[in-house]
Amino acid sequence: MTKTLNIGGQLIDLATPKVMGILNVTPDSMGILNVTPDSFFSGSRVLQVEAAYKQADKMLAEGATFLDVGGHSTRPNAEGVAEEEELARVLPVVEMLHQRFPEAVVSIDTFRASVARQAVAVGAHLVNDIAGGNLDDAMFATVAQLGVPYILMHSRGTPQTMTQLNHYDDLVTDVLRELQAKIAQLRQLGVKDIVADLGFGFAKNADQNYVLLRELSTFQMLDVPLLVGVSRKSMIWRKLDISPDAALNGTTVLNTVALLNGASILRVHDVREAMEAVRLVSLLQNTGTQST
């Protein structure tokens, strides 16, 4: 399996898993950067420009390789955001992160090709598309033209319809085939660096999420790195009858399972704890492999 990503000519080695920190941002009426208003986890809310910098600085200091900037909520039943508003939310943030943290790899979390193009123009290094190209027919060609890595997430429908689109003849086989078909399209267009995300919570119910996580290693046959994003999602807190704010421990448990099953990138709200999981799983897998 490919274990590197080419970021502007610099190879990022994913043989040791990496962590992606989540930064959801939006401008308020005063032009101050706030998190997406309906972001489901209050701890990710960035209240102003300097706070956004501090959050990014904290995530990088704790070991994040990637910073994922999004301005459009994609939780189930979330209201849509106009393209102009999404651009106003994310472009200043991407540009400022690129200027202040040149060592960071900035990801633009969008399903719109035009937003991806403009974000890359001001400093984003890769595109994270929660729609897997389904919501913008121009996305695949745009990514190919930009020559940047692409995170392909499995999903169906829109945030407003995806909860009704979770019927599968065979969950693992169907998700695998749908991702394989999209990867083939991307390869044909010349996209070289692809990361697959199974889309936990997107057109899947809670039990289906756990099946996919348990069977994550099966998806290594895609021959691309796997990103897992389960951080503080309802598959954790609803099953435990707690709130998203109390779901860090559950998140760490599932991140550990993901690492053991082959995840190359963890997308999280809590970087330090995710990095600890990466380090401990690495020790578990690599310590004492040679007899003494």
In a domain, 288, yes or no: no
Task: Kindly state the average pLDDT of the residues 236-255.
Answer: 96
- pLDDT over threshold 90, residue 203: yes
In a domain, 213, yes or no: yes
Q: Domain span at residue 238?
A: 4-283
Q: State the pLDDT at residue 158.
A: 79
What CA–CA distance (Å, rounded) separates 35 from 25? 4
What CA–CA distance (Å, rounded) separates 45 from 247? 16
What CA–CA distance (Å, rounded) separates 37 from 28? 9
What CA–CA distance (Å, rounded) separates 20 from 265? 7
Of 23-27, 199-203, 245-249, 286-290, the least confident:
23-27
Between 47 and 90, residue with greater pLDDT:
90
Task: Kindly state the average pLDDT of the residues 266-289.
Answer: 94
With vertex at residue 106, the alpha carbon angle to CA 150 and CA 163, rounded to the nearest 5 degrees, is: 55
Between 3 and 194, residue with greater pLDDT:
194
Contacts of 184 (CB under 8 A, 6+ apart): none
Burial of 171 (0-12, 13-18, 19+ CB in 10 A): middle
pLDDT band at 17, cuts 50/70/90?
very high
**DSSP symbol at 223:** -
In a domain, 150, yes or no: yes
Catalytic residue, candidates 112, 117, 267, 272? 267
CB atoms within 10 A of CB 170: 9
Q: What is the mean pLDDT of the chain?
A: 89
- pLDDT over threshold 60, residue 15: yes
Of 17-31, 252-266, 273-287, the least confident:
17-31
pLDDT band at 29, cuts 50/70/90?
very low
In a domain, 289, yes or no: no
Q: Are 228 and 197 in contact (CB under 8 A)?
A: yes
**DSSP symbol at 222:** G
Q: State the pLDDT at residue 164.
A: 84
Task: Kindly state the average pLDDT of the residues 217-231.
Answer: 97
Q: Are 57 and 21 in contact (CB under 8 A)?
A: no
CB atoms within 10 A of CB 80: 12
Q: State the pLDDT at residue 287.
A: 83
> For this structure, is 267 an active site residue?
yes
Of 38-47, 125-134, 268-277, the least confident:
38-47
Catalytic residue, candidates 112, 156, 233, 239? 233
What CA–CA distance (Å, rounded) separates 224 from 226? 6
In a domain, 104, yes or no: yes
Report CA Rg, the chain: 18
pLDDT single digits (tens) 161-172? 888 889 999 999
Q: State the pLDDT at residue 32.
A: 43
Q: State the pLDDT at residue 77.
A: 62
Please count the residues of the chain: 292
Q: Are 21 and 272 in contact (CB under 8 A)?
A: no
Give me the helices (H) in the chain, please. Answer: 49-61, 83-100, 113-121, 139-146, 171-189, 206-214, 234-240, 248-260, 271-286
In a domain, 292, yes or no: no
CATH number at 13 reads 3.20.20.20
Q: Are 58 and 77 in contact (CB under 8 A)?
A: no
pTM of the model: 0.90
pLDDT band at 2, cuts 50/70/90?
low
Q: State the pLDDT at residue 27.
A: 46
- How far are the Cα atoms of 122, 164, 266 from residue 32, in angstroms, in the given order? 19, 36, 29
Of 128-132, 156-160, 272-276, the least confident:
156-160
pLDDT band at 39, cuts 50/70/90?
low
Q: Are 117 and 168 in contact (CB under 8 A)?
A: no
pLDDT band at 288, cuts 50/70/90?
confident
Task: Kindly state the average pLDDT of the residues 26-52.
Answer: 50
Of 40-54, 67-81, 122-136, 145-159, the least confident:
40-54
- pLDDT over threshold 70, residue 155: yes
- How far are the Cα atoms of 54, 124, 138, 257, 271 from residue 206, in angstroms, in the given order? 34, 32, 31, 16, 24
In a domain, 290, yes or no: no
Q: State the pLDDT at residue 123.
A: 96
Structural domains counted in the chain? 1
